[in-house]
Structure 1
Amino acid sequence: MAKGTILTDLKKARRSGEPVRVSREIDCADRLNAYVVGIGRKWALLHTISDQLHLDGYSAVRLRDIEHATRSGWKGSTMTHHALILRGEHPQPLAGIDLDSTTGLITTLTKAFPLMAVYIERIDPDVCYIGRARGITRKKRLRLQEIGPAADWALTCSSDKTTDITRIDVGGGYIDALHAVGGDPPEC
Structure 2
Amino acid sequence: MTRGTALKDLKRARRSGEPVRVRREIAGADRLDAYVVGVGRKWVLLHTISDEIRLDGYSAIRLRDIRHATRSGWKGAMTAHRAITLREEHPQPLPDIDLDYTKGLIETLTTAFPLVAVYIEKLDPHVCHIGRARGITRNKRLRLQEIGPAADWALTPSTNRTTDITRFDVSGGYIDALHAVGGDPPEC
Query: Structure 1: 5+ residue runs without aligned partners?
Result: none
Match of 1:185 in 2: 185
Deviations 1:26-84 (A, max 9, x none): 00000000000000000000000000000000000000000000011211000000000
CA RMSD in angstroms comes to 0.5
The structural deviation recorded for 1:3 is 1.6
Alignment partner, residue 11 of structure 2 = 11
Gaps of 5+ in 2: none
1:102 and 1:36 map into 2 onto residues whose CA distance is: 18
What does residue 47 of structure 2 align with?
Answer: 47
What does 1:38-187 align with in structure 2 at a 5 Å threshold? 38-187=38-187
The total of aligned residue pairs comes to 188
Question: What secondary structure, in the 3-state scheme, does the structure 2 residue paired with 1:9 have?
Answer: helix
Q: For 1:2 and 1:63, how far apart are their aligned partners in 2?
A: 10
Secondary structure in structure 2 of the residue aligned to 1:184: coil
TM-score, normalised by the number of residues in structure 2: 0.99
Q: Work out the percentage of aligned pairs sharing the same amino acid.
A: 78
Tell me the secondary structure at the aligned position of residue 73 of structure 2: coil
For residues 65-112 of structure 1, give each alpha carbon's deviation from its aligned partner in whole angstroms, at most 9, with x where no partner exists: 000000112110000000000000010000210000100000000000
SS of 1:90 mapped into structure 2 = coil
Q: In structure 2, what is the Cα distance between the partners aligned to 1:128 and 1:2? A: 27
TM-score, with normalisation over the residues of structure 1? 0.99
